[in-house]
Amino acid sequence: MRTVRVGTVRVGAVRVVSAALLALGLAAGPAAADSSPSPSQDTSSAPTQAGTSFRTATEIEQGQRATASGSTGDYLYWSFPADTGQRPTVRATVKLPDTHAAQTWQIDVYDGLRRRQACQYGAQTRTAAADSASVELACVLRTVRAWSEPWANDPLPGTYYVRLTVTGVPTSDLGLRVDTDMRVESKEIGGSAAVDGSLSEPLVPGIAVKSEGEKEDRAVLFGLEPEDGWASGWWSDRWVWTVVGGMLAALAGVAGYRLTRGAGRPSRVPPAA
């Protein structure tokens, strides 16, 4: 009578699967860490005024709180950098005068080519009831792509502009003082939004028309960039998942081979007398 070492083979298969799961967990760790929001910037140097046009937009870093005072009816502009794989969220709070009529406020976001970018969700336009203390607005943009077709309107890495204004207000309220609070944060989406290709230069106004020597001096209209510099566009955590997927496939093949080989192989233990 022959016996089969199925138990030993199963233990080996379990070890193989455990090693694969461990590798998957180690690879998922950095990817999960990359998706966490970046820490807030130092507020000691936060801007306290806003621009009145695209060219005079006040530069702010992501995670930095910016404040400004203005008059009802003014156009207020800020700009911020957004890089590949980020999904920016723009939040604005407008503190209204003690006495006022109903007002409708709106925030619009434009990219480096001054193309208006649609909001995925969020209260981009809101109406404040008469004598309400404040109104809060939010706009969650689409994920910034490393590359896009020329005819498309996809968000691309570079400078983005925020415009805050009142769109519906009675004449009696024009010129009343308002205080604004602006903040931009991003969520790292990662390899799920990665595409093949990248821009030769980010959409920062002025950088594309300058020579190489001038670029080294950073003599551009807007000089802010992400803390780690602009992404090259070729690397993403999609490479990690591709490698892990290949490892899992190889380990699954080894485990399957050992199971099928062990099931049909006779035991070397001599039969009992």
DSSP-derived secondary structure letter, 220: S
User: Are residues 21 and 46 both part of a single domain?
Assistant: no
User: Are residues 67 and 158 both part of a single domain?
Assistant: yes
pTM of the model: 0.68
Count Cβ atoms below 10 Å from residue 188 Cβ, excluding itself. Answer: 19
User: Are residues 178 and 46 both part of a single domain?
Assistant: yes
Residue 69 lies in a domain: yes
Q: What does residue 20 show for φ and ψ, rounded to 5 degrees? A: -65, -45
Residue 203 lies in a domain: no
Residue 234 lies in a domain: yes
User: Are residues 158 and 265 both part of a single domain?
Assistant: no
Model pLDDT, residue 270:
63
User: Are residues 125 and 259 both part of a single domain?
Assistant: no
Helix (H) or strand (E) holding 261: helix 238-263
If one counts the domains in the chain, the total is 2
Q: What share of the chain is helix, strand, coil (3-state, %, to 5)?
A: 25, 30, 45
**Residue pLDDT, tens place only, 27-51:** 444 444 444 444 444 555 789 999 9
Model pLDDT, residue 32:
40
Count Cβ atoms below 10 Å from residue 154 Cβ, excluding itself. Answer: 16
Contact call for residues 12 and 258 (beta carbons, < 8 A): yes
Residue 158 lies in a domain: yes
Model pLDDT, residue 35:
40
With a cut of 70, list the residues of the chain below it in pLDDT: 1-44, 190-200, 207-223, 227-229, 231-241, 262-273
Residue 64 lies in a domain: yes
Residue 200 lies in a domain: no
User: Are residues 158 and 96 both part of a single domain?
Assistant: yes
User: Are residues 123 and 46 both part of a single domain?
Assistant: yes
Residue 222 lies in a domain: no
* CA nearest to 58, candidates 135, 166, 159, 179: 159
User: Are residues 28 and 65 both part of a single domain?
Assistant: no
Here the CATH number for the domain that contains residue 82 is 2.60.120.380
Residue 236 CA neighbour count, 13 Å, CB half = 22
Dump strand ranges (E) for the chain: 58-59, 65-71, 76-82, 86-95, 103-110, 116-117, 119-121, 125-128, 134-141, 158-168, 177-188
Residue 214 lies in a domain: no
User: Are residues 95 and 3 both part of a single domain?
Assistant: no
**Residue pLDDT, tens place only, 77-104:** 999 999 888 999 999 999 999 999 999 9
* Domain containing residue 5: 1-38+227-273
* CA nearest to 157, candidates 121, 192, 195: 195
Model pLDDT, residue 207:
59
User: Are residues 24 and 51 both part of a single domain?
Assistant: no
User: Are residues 269 and 231 both part of a single domain?
Assistant: yes
User: Are residues 89 and 131 both part of a single domain?
Assistant: yes
